[in-house]
């Protein structure tokens, strides 16, 4: 085989590029996103393409000749500009994808001994991983905001008050996450309400999340969508929502929490933790479940159901990262003051014990 050593050099070079690029992506998933599943997937992919056969590894090393390689002398003549993390992810994903494509083409020859189908499958997997990593980074700041108070504008609890008026009071009280929950208003009227709340949230630099209704969330350019177990599946919603928008998911068990994480949820809601009038058909789950879920998933965990300023500390000690409140804010004499009280309760609960 007259081209055997040349082929080995090409394979060796592309395997090296492949491993280096995957390692960069893996470190982003591990140290910046703290995502166990993504880190594991990238690590497994990197290890799969690392040569295991000692004879083959020796052959690659023997064929390697960095000193006479003309590659380093071939430059584009342009100055490399500083780049963002997302740009670095794209650059390294392209590096991996191009290396896989080269190896895939070599697999079509008789001399390479490569698995073309496996290489093609890996290349398409990296396309998806690139999108997932960039999407997670784009949503990271929003995800951090979810670790606090979720003030829920619940249509069934408003009485004669207008949703926008209650929302403004919540925002004036310091709420940074507003959820609109409305299962009774006609869609065209609900969109008008959502658009008004979305504008208020932009004014106060807060997140706006729509419960259940994907179409309303998209039409109102909401920051996120919150889904229950009987709503559109998270995996489907993730494909339809822009990659910079959040998806939350309500769960009532560890199994549901793990599934929501695997399907692409950004945060979890769990409840009812205590007995509540807004979820009369749901038995109280209790704080131990929060601990169990937090031990199994990496996502922010938001407790809901019967939350008061007096039990907020217990909820956080049990593993929750935030709280979602309906009645205790909406039914208060002052929505603004009640919102402030819950934010203060969160702050005090997070203070180190003296």
Catalytic residue numbers read 181, 250, 279
3-state secondary structure of 154: strand
Beta strands in the chain (DSSP E): 149-154, 177-181, 207-211, 224-227, 246-251, 267-271, 301-304, 322-325
How far apart are alpha carbons 176 and 172 in whole angstroms?
A: 10
Residue ranges in 28-115 assigned as alpha helix (H): 36-48, 54-63, 85-106
C-alpha to C-alpha distances, 186 to 157, 190, 191, 230, nearest whole angstrom: 17, 6, 9, 20
* Count of helix runs (H) and strand runs (E) in the chain: 14, 8
Give the separation between CA 71 and CA 215, rounded to whole angstroms: 51
What DSSP state is assigned to residue 190? Answer: H
Return the structure tokens found at 226: 């919150």
CB 230 within 8 A of CB 285: no
């Amino acid at each position: 085989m007259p081209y055997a050593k040349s082929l080995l050099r090409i394979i060796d070079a592309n395997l090296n590029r492949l491993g280096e690029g995957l390692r960069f992506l893996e470190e982003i998933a591990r140290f910046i996103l703290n995502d166990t599943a993504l880190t594991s997937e990238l690590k497994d992919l990197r290890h799969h393409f690392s040569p295991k056969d000692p004879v083959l590894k020796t052959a690659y090393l023997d064929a390697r000749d960095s000193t006479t390689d003309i590659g380093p002398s071939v430059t584009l003549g342009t100055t490399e500009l500083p780049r963002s993390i997302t740009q670095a992810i794209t650059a390294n994903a392209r590096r991996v994808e191009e290396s896989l494509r080269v190896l895939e083409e070599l697999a079509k020859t008789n001399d390479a001994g490569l698995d073309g189908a496996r290489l093609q499958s890996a290349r398409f997997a990296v396309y998806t991983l690139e999108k997932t990593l960039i999407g997670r980074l784009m949503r990271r700041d929003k995800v951090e905001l979810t670790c606090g108070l979720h003030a829920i504008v619940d249509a069934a609890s408003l009485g004669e008050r207008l949703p926008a008026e209650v929302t403004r009071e919540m925002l004036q009280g310091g709420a940074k996450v507003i959820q609109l929950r409305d299962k009774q208003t006609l869609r065209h009227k609900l969109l008008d309400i959502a658009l008004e709340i979305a504008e208020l949230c932009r004014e106060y630099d807060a997140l706006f999340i729509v419960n259940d209704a994907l179409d309303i969330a998209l039409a109102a350019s909401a920051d996120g969508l919150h889904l229950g177990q009987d709503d559109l599946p998270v995996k489907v919603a993730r494909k339809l929502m822009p990659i910079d928008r959040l998806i939350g998911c309500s769960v009532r068990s560890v199994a549901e929490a793990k599934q929501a994480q695997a399907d692409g949820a950004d945060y979890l809601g769990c409840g009812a933790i205590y007995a509540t009038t807004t979820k009369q058909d749901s038995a109280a789950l209790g704080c131990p479940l929060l601990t169990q879920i937090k031990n199994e998933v990496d996502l922010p965990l938001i407790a809901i159901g019967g939350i008061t300023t007096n039990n907020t500390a217990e909820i956080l000690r049990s593993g929750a990262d935030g709280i979602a409140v309906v009645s205790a804010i909406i039914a208060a004499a002052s929505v603004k003051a009640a919102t402030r009280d819950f934010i203060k309760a969160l702050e005090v609960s997070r203070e180190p014990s003296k």
